[in-house]
Amino acid sequence: MKTRSAIVLLGPPASGKGTQAQRIAASLGGLHISTGYLLRQAVLMGTPLGKQVQKYVDAGDLVPDGLVLSLVRETLAGIEDRVPAILDGFPRTLSQAEALDAFLPPNKVILIELDEGEVIRRITGRRIGPHGEPYHVLYNPPPPGVTATRRSDDREEVVRERLAVYQRQTEPLLDYYAQRKVLHRVSGLGSIGDVFRRIISSIGSDSAAREIE
């Protein structure tokens, strides 16, 4: 029986995991799996798993690992084994990684690296226009006369706490995957295309890569 290939993307907030996962999936003919998206869709569609998820959301609790993994399994059951899975920001903890290994051990784990200062610059500089349009004070400032606001969770103290949580959760994962010789580190600096090319090179699939600018 053919084993499905899988690539996991890890990285701090604002490292571009979701964007890169979409590009990798398009380049390799794979399926981009964002567990956050799966949870929201399951709730929206009212599936049996979605109803279970809704109970935890309503109570303000974290969705248990087993339920998240069930959603991943359910999603993969609907596609052919030859289609690779591109997991975006999952697993987040060592227990999730161990559970994932039981049915979908990743062939490659890509860590998109950004230092703390760059993460803070990217997030605290984000702004939202009056109609929801995204801006950034450094990279994409709002036009003159446009009033743009910052989300409350984009404040520096909130970002630093998110980074602390990420570091606590991710460090054991890096050791876990390094021991299995599947961990690859790439710089998250530069353009989206620059980071994409580094990832494709680390995956070793240059021939399959297509520029998606």
DSSP letters spanning 114-152: --HHHHHHHHHTEEE-TTS-EEETTTBPPPTT---B--G
CB contact at 8 A, 17 and 10:
yes
Active site residue 160: no
Q: In whole angstroms, what is the distance from residue 39 CA to residue 61 CA?
A: 13
How much is the mean pLDDT over the chain?
88
pTM of the full structure: 0.84
CA atoms within a 13 Å half-sphere pointing along the CA-CB vector of 159 = 22
Closest CA to 77 of 25, 171, 165, 4: 4
Residues with Cβ < 8 Å from 140, sequence gap 6 or more?
134
Active site residue 162: yes
CB contact at 8 A, 166 and 122:
no
Beta bridge partners of 192: none
Q: Where are any strands of DSSP class E within 69-211?
A: 85-88, 108-113, 126-128, 134-136, 183-187
Average pLDDT over residues 163-179: 91
Q: Which pLDDT belongs to residue 120?
A: 95
Q: Which pLDDT belongs to residue 147?
A: 93
Catalytic residue among 92, 150, 185, 197: 92
Active site residue 155: no
CB contact at 8 A, 90 and 18:
no
Catalytic residue among 40, 150, 162, 197: 162
| Domains (range + CATH), the chain | 6-208 (3.40.50.300)
Task: Say whether pLDDT at 57 is over 90.
Answer: no
Q: pLDDT band at residue 205, thresholds of 50, 70 and 90?
A: low
Catalytic residue among 4, 23, 121, 126: 126
How many CB atoms are closer than 10 A to CB 181? 7
pLDDT digits (tens, 9 = 90+) for 82-93: 899 999 978 988
pLDDT digits (tens, 9 = 90+) for 114-151: 999 999 999 999 999 999 999 999 889 999 999 999 98
Q: Which pLDDT belongs to residue 146?
A: 93
Residues with Cβ < 8 Å from 146, sequence gap 6 or more?
129, 130, 135
Catalytic residue among 4, 17, 23, 198: 17
Q: Which pLDDT belongs to residue 105?
A: 93
Active site residue 168: no
pLDDT digits (tens, 9 = 90+) for 20-29: 999 999 999 9
Catalytic residue among 51, 55, 82, 151: 151
Active site residue 82: no
**Widest Cα–Cα separation across the chain:** 61
Task: Say whether pLDDT at 1 is over 70.
Answer: no
Task: Say whether pLDDT at 210 is over 50.
Answer: no
